[in-house]
Copies of this chain bind each other. A is one copy, B any other.
Amino acid sequence: MTKGITKRNEDYAQWYLDVIAAADLAEHSAVKGCMVIKPNGYAIWEMIQAQLDRMFKATGHVNAYFPLFIPESYLQKEAEHVEGFAPECAVVTHAGGKRLEEPMVIRPTSETIIWSTYKNWIQSYRDLPILINQWANVVRWEMRTRLFLRTTEFLWQEGHTAHATAQEAEEETLKILGVYRDFAEQYMAAPVYVGIKTDKEKFAGAVRTYCIEAMMQDRKSLQCGTSHNLGQNFARAFDVTFQDESGKLQHVYATSWGVSTRLIGALVMSHSDDNGLVLPPRLAPLKVVLIPIWKEESEMEKTKQKAAELTANWHDQISFRIDDRDQYRPGYKFNEWEKRGVPIRIEMGPRDVAADQVVVVRRDTGEKIPMPQQDLLPRIQKLLEQMQNDLYQRALEYRNAATYRADDYKEFQSAIENPGGFFWLHWCGNPDCENRFQETSKATIRIIPMDGEKEQGPCIVCGKPSQQRVLVGKSY
């Protein structure tokens, strides 16, 4: 736990793993590609879950639970879907001591099992819309895994909605995209670009995939959430029809959308520094740690007692902890809570007690702020909101400063290597040009903006006319 953290600019990938280890968030398990989410990491997931769940419910969604297992034949019903997911599936062939007649895959995503169920739930337009979300584990067999960012099993939420019209489905897809953007910006303090995926990058089975993309501190892009308009693809595959108001039989329109424990990776990489984890206050499970300090044994009781008095009415109002462990020195404790990303540390020594003050230390800036003990809690709460905003602003400035426009392919190729970043490029829409990019620069089109400035220009690859720029970057 006291081992050092590699500096970001020395080895970014190792820094990321070191921050996770120092904050005790997760570790690789003995099971290939699976992680153990340790209590400190899981507490962040609980914060994420609680807030997103509130936002889903506020927009009319309810939770449900569908089976972990999907009969292989279900997966095969939607052609693009099976092509996209079959290679990643874990397959159960035996159970209860016997070989199964039909193998079952562990859900990599639940469209097929859910639409096979919706078939029985939907007859008439009166049964629509269905607005269901599920919190669950899913499995995708990954060759190269990385804690939180890409693991064989991960936790996520997946929304699956059913609608009577194409327009309603599109509105739902965009509504959730808005929820994801708000969550990223207001809670994760992570500015995101929102837009549409290219056909090559869209979800296997979707008509259109929208997503939010955030820039990490290595200037790479992390896809943080996706919202898919599935059109009638799954309704056709599972023959889910409804009688509309005029009595006509139609296929149902679908959406699906999800975010996962990957968001914890995004949080770690958005704000942390060379001293360890930095968390935006709104998603920090523990917001304040108060460290009473004493030199003489004789001062100990008084300082501890003052700490208890000071926080006596805090219990229902803020998540805090008093670290009055006797066997560790203050410096050790400062370091420990810093690594764990607790937003605010309060130091209180005998002189502070005498002067009716404390010293408040911001995790993000290291700034030390003396504060009177009177009305301390509202001051702390105000400071936490300030930190939340500051983290967002810093991330926004960082991203904006590393986002460029490029019109020359050679210059782009060089710039994406060094310094790296996001690049707005003209692209004609031809998948061949998209492939060319990817092969020569290892970068991908992250999004096509939905309401981007229309601007004529030549495709950076082939020179043919393009109507708008797209966002390109390397990604996780």
A residues with CB within 8 A of B: 27, 29-31, 34-39, 41-43, 45-46, 62-71, 74, 86-97, 103-104, 106, 113, 116-117, 120, 132, 136-137, 139, 141, 143, 153, 155
Contact = CB atoms under 8 A, between A and B. Distances in A.
Contacts of A106: 68, 92, 106
A154 to B, nearest CB: 10
A38 B39 CA distance: 30
With a 10 A CB-CB cut-off, give which of A30, A42, A95 has the most chain B CB atoms.
Answer: A95
Contacts of A90: 69, 92, 94-96
A120 B63 CA distance: 36
19 contacts: A30-B117, A31-B113, A34-B67, A36-B65, A36-B67, A36-B117, A37-B65, A42-B62, A43-B62, A67-B153, A68-B139, A87-B97, A88-B96, A89-B95, A89-B96, A92-B92, A93-B94, A94-B103, A106-B106
Given A29-B67, A41-B64, A42-B63, 13 more contacts: A27-B120, A29-B113, A31-B67, A34-B69, A68-B137, A69-B153, A87-B97, A89-B95, A90-B94, A91-B93, A92-B93, A92-B106, A96-B143
Contact of A155 (B39, B65, B143): B65
A214 to B, nearest CB: 24
Contacts of A86: 97
Contact of A29 (B31, B36, B117): B117
Contacts of A39: 62-64, 132
A31 B70 contact: yes
A29 B66 contact: yes
The 8 closest A-B pairs by CB, nearest first: A96-B141, A34-B67, A39-B62, A90-B95, A37-B65, A91-B94, A95-B141, A31-B67
B31 A46 contact: no
Contact of A65 (B42, B63, B70, B103): B42
A56 to B, nearest CB: 12
A62 B37 CA distance: 12
Nearest to A53: B46
A116 B69 CA distance: 26
A129 to B, nearest CB: 13
Contacts of A41: 64
Nearest to A138: B68
A31 B71 contact: yes
